[in-house]
Amino acid sequence: MTDVDHPPSAAQQREAVVDLLGVLAYAELSAFERMASDAPLAPGLEQRTALGEMAVAEFGHFVALRDHLTAMGVDATGAMAPFVGPLDDFHDSTAPADWLEGLVKAYVGDGFASDFYREVAEYVDDVPTRELILAALADTGHAQFVVDQVRAAIAADETVGGRLALWARRLMGEALVQAQRVAVDRDAMATLLVGGGDLVKIGELLARLTARHTERMELLGLKS
Amino acid sequence: MTDVDHPPSAAQQREAVVDLLGVLAYAELSAFERMASDAPLAPGLEQRTALGEMAVAEFGHFVALRDHLTAMGVDATGAMAPFVGPLDDFHDSTAPADWLEGLVKAYVGDGFASDFYREVAEYVDDVPTRELILAALADTGHAQFVVDQVRAAIAADETVGGRLALWARRLMGEALVQAQRVAVDRDAMATLLVGGGDLVKIGELLARLTARHTERMELLGLKS
């Protein structure tokens, strides 16, 4: 998991793991709040409840991550603090205008987070941390509901597909802008994930995340 | 539990119970969404998380009520539908301007709901329904957090108390406006709760709810 030329010290590894848990924790907390806020856009109470259930699942992940930080002797609030700005900026720049945009955002965000969990799990040596991350990953099973809703909307109105494809591209663009900002600011985390400033590995990581995003767009019936 | 002169029929009793479960379910669902939306007003991540926890607890009550309706063979969405307008109007007319207003709203709303659960439990003959209501009641233990936050804010700035006392009166006023609207529209429920159009009993019920609201305001350090 380490760059062969520059193996990180135990202190650097710990700093990086705290960053990873911090960014994931704040991502889950803010996703919970935004999804719950977006739920009233739903066309009916059943769909609204389904988005509420997704939001509550995110909050459960947040609690697990926060408690894990606390058990490591880390102040969870401090660990999340560096990521509040980038994640709030992402959400503020991608407020959904309607129910379908909200659904696609929940799906893209949940999927991106899952991919990120999967990448992170491979790079983290600490066994309890890796198990926590894999547990959060296993628990995100609300995707089929979104796929069904979006495909039905496209079937009913072809123009919806084009509009949502553009929206998904914008979401991914804004996410990558903020991810780069975080990578620049948080050296230890970037080093853990891709080795010390290794641009080829950063490129490969982004390529993998983008490829999985494309697969998800195809499942929704959208061009990515 | 029945008016001696006009005991309700089994069908009327069932209609009333469905209404009660429906209004409580939608109250919990909308409280969940609004609390989660208000959480970012918090001055720090710990307080924000605490409001998130309150929101998630409301969603848990919602799920229990919805599942109970489904188990009774009732369409939960249909049971909630008559109460969407009044509860949305309540929330829209009482959007908190800041964190303390959000906290007081969560506290007043949670307290009012608890009192209502307690009243309802006495009037419902059906044992599983009564147990469900009492379980939801037992689970609302987040009040001390709000009391501590509000008392600390008043201790730090005396003018806060006057402002929040006015806000709490407005919340109670808007709640009573919507409660009256619901009582007029939903005959069977009003009959179950207070007997057939018995104005004395309606007055007594409102007096009890107002007395408990006054006690809660005193706990917060506010004049009601």
Res A2: pLDDT: 43
List Cβ<8 Å contacts ≥24 apart for B141-148: B142/B50, B142/B53, B142/B54, B142/B57, B142/B110, B143/B107, B143/B110, B143/B111, B145/B50, B146/B103, B146/B104, B146/B106, B146/B107, B146/B220, B147/B107, B147/B219, B147/B220
Does A62 reach chain B within 8 Å, measured CB to CB? yes
String of DSSP letters for B92-140 = HHT--SSHHHHHHHHHHHHHHHHHHHHHHHHH---HHHHHHHHHHHHT-
Position with higher pLDDT, B197 vs A127: A127
Res A115: pLDDT: 85
CA distance A181 to B49: 25
Average pLDDT over residues B160-186: 88
B2 has pLDDT over 60:
no
Name the residue of chain A whose CA is nearest to B57's CA.
A56
The pLDDT tens digits for B124-152 are: 778 888 888 887 776 566 678 888 999 99
CA distance A224 to A185: 29
B1 has pLDDT over 50:
no
**Which stretches of chain A score pLDDT less than 70?**
1-8, 138-142, 195-199, 224
Mutate to test the interface with A, among B28, B35, B49 (most CBs of A within 10 A): B49
The pLDDT tens digits for B97-119 are: 999 999 999 998 888 888 888 88
Closest CA to A32 of B95, B51, B84, B25: B51
Q: What are phi and psi of B210, to 5 degrees?
A: -70, -40
Q: How far is CA A62 from the centre of its chain?
A: 12
B3 has pLDDT over 60:
no
Mutate to test the interface with A, among B59, B69, B75 (most CBs of A within 10 A): B59
B164 has pLDDT over 60:
yes
Q: What are phi and psi of B116, to 5 degrees?
A: -65, -45
String of DSSP letters for chain B = ---SSSPPPHHHHHHHHHHHHHHHHHHHHHHHHHHHHHGGGSSSHHHHHHHHHHHHHHHHHHHHHHHHHHHTT--HHHHHHHHHHHHHHHHHHT--SSHHHHHHHHHHHHHHHHHHHHHHHHH---HHHHHHHHHHHHT---HHHHHHHHHHHHHH-THHHHHHHHHHHHHHHHHHHHHHHHHHH-HHHHHHHHSTT-HHHHHHHHHHHHHHHHHHHHHHT---
Res A119: pLDDT: 81
Global model pTM greater than 0.90: no
Angle in degrees, CA B25, B96, A107, rounded to 5? 60
Res A152: pLDDT: 94
Interface of A with B in 136-175 (CB under 8 A): none
Closest CA to B55 of B90, B105, B5, B96: B105
- With H, G, I as helix, E, B as strand and everything else as coil, classify residue A134: helix
The pLDDT tens digits for B66-94 are: 999 999 999 999 999 999 999 999 999 99
Cβ separation of B66 and A48 shorter than 8 Å? no
Res B142: pLDDT: 66
Q: Find out whether B142 and B50 touch, Cβ atoms under 8 Å.
A: yes
Does A89 reach chain B within 8 Å, measured CB to CB? no
Does A56 reach chain B within 8 Å, measured CB to CB? yes
What is the percent of chain B with per-residue pLDDT over 90, rounded to a whole number? 50
At residue B202 the predicted structure's pLDDT band, cuts being 50, 70 and 90, is confident
Take residue B80 and report the two structure tokens written for it: 């909630």
Q: How far is CA B147 from CA A119, B102, B107, B108, B109, in A?
A: 43, 13, 8, 11, 14
Position with higher pLDDT, B205 vs A108: A108
CA distance B54 to B105: 12
- Compute how many other C-beta atoms are within 10 angstroms of the C-beta atom of residue B5: 8
Contacts of B33 in chain A (CB under 8 A): 36-37, 39-40, 52
Distance from CA of A142 to the nearest CA of B (A): 16
B178 has pLDDT over 90:
no
Does A55 reach chain B within 8 Å, measured CB to CB? yes
CA distance B133 to B64: 9
Q: Find out whether A85 and A27 touch, Cβ atoms under 8 Å.
A: no
- Amino acid B3 reads D
Q: What is the ipTM of this complex?
A: 0.84
At residue B5 the predicted structure's pLDDT band, cuts being 50, 70 and 90, is low
Average pLDDT over residues B200-221: 85
